[in-house]
Copies of this chain bind each other. A is one copy, B any other.
Amino acid sequence: MKRTLGQLHEEKVFKDPVHRYIHVRDELIWKLIGTREFQRLRRIRQLGTTYLTFHGAEHSRFSHSLGVYEITRRIVEVFKGRKHWNEEERMLALSAALLHDIGHGPFSHSFEKVFGLDHEYYTRAILLGNTEVNAILRLQSEDFPKKVAEVIEKTYHDKLVVSLISSQIDADRMDYLLRDAYFTGVSYGNFDLERILRVMRPMEDGAVIKASGMHAVEDYIMSRYQMYWQVYFHPVTRSAEVILSKILHRAKHLYEADYTFQQPLTHFHSLFKGEVTVEDYIRLDEGVMQYYFQVWLQEEDQILRDLCRRFLDRKLFKYCDLLPMSEVHTLARYFKEAGIDPRYYLVIDSSSDLPYDFYRPGEKEEKLPINLWKANGDISELSTESDVVEAISGKRRTDHKLYYPADVVDGLANQELKQKIKQLLHKG
């Protein structure tokens, strides 16, 4: 007979620098944290390559996931007993909060683009497949894993539960802003979480904010805006990201060209073949990636070797503003002439490719907007009430940059060619 999970005999706490303590009273949550799939998140950094710009940003998705759980726990405490909130959904909300990032791979942004992976696919696969997480979730009920997946995929019928982890002011974003600000050391990400939690209220279609708390929410939106420009879109981080992508591209290219690697490609075979099972996927983490980058320092292929060295030793590309495409083509020609392969060493990167946004109420693929609940009972979308939010809504200022190895250019023996290249680059 299957036992039912209940409350822990004694509450467990995790010391957390952002929320002080993370409180766990439910056996289910405690067991989920103990699974190998969840523990693996300790080996995946929350901010990918950002630690190469902000050295404090070495925190993992493990810490963040606990934080999202904790914020959700506090929201649910505020909702308890109020209309529209179904207390039976509590464990579902908490589990979805804890597991929302379970499908993320190492350096996921670059990884997914190069290998055509999709963390949402693997999230579902880990929740529903033959995993420790699935086994624990099924202790709750047979359809519980599916419900957790639906909440994370935003298809669950109770939109209020969905909104807690997928809206413009969800537990996910609130934790990452505070946490990323704490670990990078920038002051921009701070806002009054406690105040926001106090003014959140359950509604049928999702959580709303009492209008008296509008200024706290404005402050939160501004924190987002600032964090994007100061941290998430930082051009140095993007340089590291560019190099990372090029490493993966080069390795894939070599593999497809039947190049003989000196060390076994164990973890990469399925990636290169595009047949990554859940089990393969779970084995990938950032330590493993860095192992390969390190052994590739011994490879014969000069491009792969050089890119790996750049990544590990932080010899990043420099950047300038993007030039007109005709001039980029000219530059590419010069690079070839100089023996520098422009496919790997002259790279256009656009911040708009990044999975961040300020606040966009109107677009349909977007997360739920922030709604204010006025004293008279009316509901009103935030940007119609706030000048400040209106000012930045939907304005995604795309920032295009051109990345290149300044050290290589500076070292060119052909002075004339070098001059022509530098002249063009200085226009950017």
Q: Which residues of A contact B (CB under 8 A)?
A: 13-18, 20-21, 34-36, 39-40, 42-43, 51-52, 54-56, 58-60, 62-63, 66, 182-188, 190-192, 194, 198, 215, 218-219, 222, 225-226, 229-230, 263-264, 266, 283, 285-291, 294-295, 309, 312-315, 387-388, 390-392, 395
Contact = CB atoms under 8 A, between A and B. Distances in A.
Contacts of A222: 219, 222, 388
A219 B226 contact: yes
Contacts of A35: 313
A288 B294 contact: yes
Contacts of A315: 34
A58 B63 contact: yes
Contacts of A15: 54, 56, 184-186
A56 B63 contact: yes
B266 A55 contact: no
Contacts of A39: 312-314
Given A20-B185, A314-B39, A392-B388, A190 B192 contact: no
A192 B18 CA distance: 14
A314 B185 contact: no
Interface secondary structure of A, over-half rule: helix
Nearest to A187: B192
Nearest to A16: B185
B387 A395 contact: yes
B184 A188 contact: no
A303 B14 CA distance: 30
Contacts of A42: 51-52, 55, 58, 314
A282 to B, nearest CB: 10
Given A58-B58, A264-B264, A285-B294, 5 more contacts: A36-B309, A55-B63, A222-B222, A287-B294, A288-B291
B395 A43 contact: no
23 contacts: A14-B55, A15-B185, A17-B56, A34-B314, A34-B315, A39-B312, A42-B55, A43-B290, A55-B66, A58-B58, A186-B192, A187-B192, A187-B219, A188-B219, A225-B388, A287-B287, A287-B288, A287-B289, A287-B291, A287-B294, A288-B291, A288-B294, A391-B391
